[in-house]
Structure 1
Amino acid sequence: MTATNLALTLTESFRRRVLVIDADLRRPSMHHTFGLPNNTGLNDALLGRDNMPTAFEMSSRLTVLPAGCPNPDPIGVLTSPAMRQLVKFARDGYDWVLIDTPPVGLLTDAHLVAQMVDAVVMVVSAGAVPYRVVQRSADALGRDRIIGVVLNRAAAAPFERAYGYGGYGGYYGAHSHEDQEQA
């Protein structure tokens, strides 16, 4: 979902042409988010079943390449010359190419794909991933390649007091009320 939100931000706010690729070949999910079929996609193209993968143009600036049929052992296709060629083709045709992968701490897929890209945005699930695992994952990806970290699934409760209606709103409202009484 983070890759999807980033893609939408880049296309709508910054007017960039973006290709989003679902490279989670074990458990594809991006097609659900966009309401797309997943019968062909990245996996099929990399296996040579489809010379040009089926990508869906969601708008004039947003294109989505679903994963295609699940592949329980995608390492061979993710490290193939076809994958490198696809990344190069995508770089030449789009302002931004976002490649969504499985979690880096669990599988090698993300690490292998990260070697083909210019930069990495690391997504960390709040409260679910121990700090040492995050550190190891950052080391595996290459800290110099990480341009940002997104903390997702964070509970809003700790932040509601500071930034919700009862936080600053109450603070400013209290001053306003006191000032009126003194006048």
Structure 2
Amino acid sequence: MQIDKSNFENNKVQKVSIREGTSLDYRTNEAYKSLRTNIQFCGDDIKTIAVTSCMPNEGKSSVAFNLAISLAESGKKVILLDCDLRKSVLVGRYKISKGVKGMTHYLTGMHTIDQVICSTDVENLFVVFSGPVPPNPAELLGNRYFSALMKQLPEFYDYVIIDTPPLGSVIDSAIVAQQCDGAVMVIAANQISYKFAQKTKEQLEKSNCKILGVVLNKVDIRENGYYGKYYGKYYGKYYGKYYGNYGSD
């Protein structure tokens, strides 16, 4: 379960291209820079960060992916872990070869972590994709391999960003959050009730993971003034930091 540092030095990791199709408009790019800054202001002891949502299609994978890119572009060494083992969208969205090994291969002991890490065409950014859908994702994420991984990766990377399943649907995110320094919730504007968001927040709190804040996603920019005022007050009162608009999934 130990990471072989020589593999990194000799470039023996898988290589993938993710840059194509990832360009953002000016407004969205600036929003991710603000999110990046807010994450960095949380303190240098916050290195492993889980990203979750209440339900599917709120854009959490896009937020995790673009946050990782933004941190890497600022000069930080970043690794993105795709731990949405049940329904990952990253491999399909970025047209990654089916031959690429992923988290499932590592968590089942089939491959070492060195064999599933991918270098990318974004400088400083590395990715571990999800791999094949397993029959027991929650059990895999709670096993000794994952625990060892979360202890070792901060020795090699400035930030470990983890895309997790929606916590309102399955328990996987809470299992992952137990191993993290902090968590970020992604909430889609006009899609989630306050009670559902509050219930999801309470579930996340049970993992004893610090909730860093909430990303309000999929905001209609034509109503940006309304959402900025209303949701900033409404959710900010209960969740802490308010991060704003980060585009659609």
Q: Which runs of structure 2 are paired with 1:110-121 in the superposition (5 Å)?
A: 110-121=173-184
Paired position in structure 1 for 2:119: 57
For residue 31 of structure 1, the aligned residue among 91, 96, 120 is: 91
Paired position in structure 1 for 2:107: 46
Higher Rg of the two aligned structures: 1
State the one-letter code of the partner of 1:153: K
Runs of 5+ consecutive residues of structure 1 not aligned to the other structure: 162-183
**Contact 1:22/1:65 (8 A) holds in 2:** yes
Render the CA deviation track for 1:76-116: whole Å, top value 9, x for unaligned: 10000100111112111100000000111111000110010
The alpha carbon displacement at 1:153 in A equals 1.7
Q: Which runs of structure 2 are paired with 1:63-82 in the superposition (5 Å)?
A: 63-82=126-145
State the one-letter code of the partner of 1:19: I
Structure 2 residue 18 is matched with structure 1 residue 18: no
State the one-letter code of the partner of 1:18: V
Runs of 5+ consecutive residues of structure 2 not aligned to the other structure: 1-61, 227-249
User: Percent of pairs identical after alignment?
Assistant: 31
Paired position in structure 2 for 1:101: 164
For residue 213 of structure 2, the aligned residue among 148, 158, 161 is: 148
Which one has more relative contact order, counting CA pairs under 8 Å at least 6 apart? 2
Paired position in structure 1 for 2:16: none
CA RMSD in angstroms comes to: 2.2
State the one-letter code of the partner of 1:123: V
State the one-letter code of the partner of 2:80: V
**Contact 2:178/2:209 (8 A) holds in 1:** no
Render the CA deviation track for 1:132-162: whole Å, top value 9, x for unaligned: 111111112128711121111222221289x
**Contact 1:38/1:67 (8 A) holds in 2:** no
**Contact 1:38/1:69 (8 A) holds in 2:** no
Q: How many pairs does the alignment contain?
A: 162
TM-score (norm 1): 0.81
TM-score (norm 2): 0.60
**Contact 2:180/2:209 (8 A) holds in 1:** no
